[in-house]
Structure 1
């Protein structure tokens, strides 16, 4: 049986209905993205399944081996769990699937932005992620009890996602992630790699918090798809929603670390 093809997706701006005809620049950009997504499916070096066999990515085992150190750094972050931002407070496009603080994040890096303060708090987590080729985004993803992320798709099929289970409460049957027609239940210290361009949803129906290390990385592609993909992902930093997310992150960090300093000086 052949692996299912990854669906061709679009950048998040595609869901925004313009008041008038899109500008020439916008139309050209959308055409290039559509071309890139078709190439990404056809020229994938790793196939296009919803959820991958970890053996396809030999470095995944090395990341799993760093679980104890990453978990220890997470515990330090969670001492101020109530002060962590809702995902939608950093990335406004997430508001289509979550508008409360039941899904929180602690960002180390994303799309060219690096949080020096957060990396300093989690240096071993950051070091572990340097083993991942084509690294784009690193964060802790925190699902509070009862939180459900409804079915949605990622904005572009040139990236893949890794979740490393860090805090996976019991019963495990009460939480999980569905990617297309495949179901995965997180496990402490275990990595799963999937293509978020497929429809997926996640839920935590336990009475406890679930946390994973959340990493995006460039999908391994053959030429010329790899070159076009690299270019688009590096240009993404200039898009309005990425710029807005960077500004929101910087503003939150300023408050977060100012409050920490005030507590130390009491």
Structure 2
């Protein structure tokens, strides 16, 4: 659930390094593509979407405790799970510690077979979501703050299903643009991560959500452009490096 609120002061990453040419070029191209996608979107261009508008949300919410049961088994090994920046090296600009753990099922359409086998019911549910491209458990330790940042591409919508949400809820939150959202167990948040956003877990408990990226519903020819742009991103060195990193972690 969400509410409108003035944005808190954001902590900004420092010590920026010049990025490789292919990332700089890709981001310039994506800026133009994002403007086109916003015009072609069938669901508008808000910060937060209404999850009730998407039929695939209801089965996930109805079976959230099934997913939670499989998560509980994974959390017994939480310290051994990879940090997000261990998989996606670009995340090191917003997270440098060991307080944001991940357990990937899919990344940009690539299936992580070992992890999927460990959570078969979760895998069955996420594979029923139309347009699902990325899926993982996102695990935030107590006191974790993810500073303000923006996602790279407007062609997907970001979905969170609350699985383990500590209290008090106002201290475990996400800001997207000027709006604030709160997780609840068995409840959904869906947002556009190309808006500036940041996350706080200012509680003494661990927050876990099922994190999905789902293709945005588009009109023609926007849908065609969206698929093409996504497939180009999927083949980029950035994604391929993350895929290899995840495979190495799975082999451990």
User: What does residue 210 of structure 1 align with?
Assistant: 207
User: What does residue 226 of structure 1 align with?
Assistant: 223
Asked if the contact 2:162–2:185 (Cα under 8 Å) also holds between the matched residues in 1, the reply is yes
- What root-mean-square deviation, in Å, do the aligned CA atoms of Structure 1 and Structure 2 show? 1.9
Q: Distance in 1 between matches of 2:74 and 2:196?
A: 30
SS at match of 2:46: coil
Are positions 1:39 and 2:51 aligned together? no
Q: 1:251 to 1:49 in 2, by over 3 A?
A: same
Asked if the contact 1:167–1:211 (Cα under 8 Å) also holds between the matched residues in 2, the reply is yes
Instruction: Spell out structure 1 runs of 4+ moving beyond 6 A.
Output: none
Q: Shift of residue 17 of structure 1?
A: 3.7
User: What does residue 119 of structure 1 align with?
Assistant: 116
Which residue, out of 75, 78, 90, partners 1:78?
A: 75
Are positions 1:248 and 2:210 aligned together? no
Q: Shift of residue 32 of structure 1?
A: 4.7
Q: Distance in 2 between matches of 1:18 and 1:67?
A: 39
User: What does residue 129 of structure 1 align with?
Assistant: 126
Q: Distance in 2 between matches of 1:72 and 1:201?
A: 28
SS at match of 2:203: coil
Larger RCO (CA within 8 A; separation ≥ 6): 2
1:96-145: per-residue Cα shift (whole Å, max 9, x none)?
A: 10011111100001113211110011111111112321111000000000
Q: Shift of residue 237 of structure 1?
A: 2.1
User: What does residue 142 of structure 2 align with?
Assistant: 145
Q: 1:61 to 1:244 in 2, by over 3 A?
A: same
Are positions 1:106 and 2:106 aligned together? no
TM-score between both structures, scaled by the size of structure 2? 0.89
Q: Distance in 2 between matches of 1:44 and 1:50?
A: 13
Q: Shift of residue 16 of structure 1?
A: 6.8
Are positions 1:158 and 2:145 aligned together? no
SS at match of 2:174: strand
Question: Any unmatched runs of 5+ in structure 1?
Answer: 1-14, 256-266
Structure of higher CA gyration radius: 1
Asked if the contact 1:63–1:131 (Cα under 8 Å) also holds between the matched residues in 2, the reply is no
TM-score between both structures, scaled by the size of structure 1? 0.84
Q: Distance in 1 between matches of 2:247 and 2:74?
A: 17
Q: 1:18 to 1:49 in 2, by over 3 A?
A: closer
Q: Which moved more, 1:206-215 or 1:31-40?
A: 31-40
SS at match of 1:165: strand
Question: Any unmatched runs of 5+ in structure 2?
Answer: 1-15
Q: Distance in 1 between matches of 2:232 and 2:91?
A: 20
Asked if the contact 2:27–2:152 (Cα under 8 Å) also holds between the matched residues in 1, the reply is no
1:74-100: per-residue Cα shift (whole Å, max 9, x none)?
A: 001111011001100110000110011
